[in-house]
Amino acid sequence: MRHFKLAITIATALLITTTNVWAAEGARQDHSGVFVWVFLGVCALIVAAQAVPALFVLVNATKGIAEAVKERRQIAAKV
């Protein structure tokens, strides 16, 4: 029981001394300027510009695979 009381006392002392840290004001303020937002906008534009051609390639590849499967089925049906 003595060790338990000692542990509680130490934990309480540590928590009392760290309350100012938890109550710190402005820990998550965002000081991003206009250049940061412009940079993020350009990054989003690059990602979007690369996503459109990738989508076209995906659709065309799917069409090509579907046509190849259709041709194989037609050949298999003739044999």
Residue carrying the six token digits 């534009």:
45
6, pLDDT greater than 80: yes
Q: Is residue 52 one of the residues assigned to a domain?
A: yes
What pLDDT shows up at residue 10?
A: 86
Q: Is residue 40 one of the residues assigned to a domain?
A: yes
Parent domain of 57: 33-79
Model confidence pLDDT, tens digit, residues 23-71: 556 555 667 788 888 999 999 999 999 999 999 999 999 999 999 999 8
- Cα–Cα dist 10/1, whole Å: 14
Q: Is residue 3 one of the residues assigned to a domain?
A: no
> What pTM was computed for the model?
0.45
Rg (CA), the chain: 32
The type of residue at 23 is A
Q: Is residue 24 one of the residues assigned to a domain?
A: no
Q: Is residue 2 one of the residues assigned to a domain?
A: no
Tell me what the mean pLDDT of segment 2-9 comes to: 84
Domain count, the chain: 1
Q: Which two tokens stand for residue 30?
A: 């965002």
Q: Is residue 26 one of the residues assigned to a domain?
A: no
Q: Is residue 55 one of the residues assigned to a domain?
A: yes
Return all residues near 70 (Cβ < 8 A) that are at least 6 apart: none
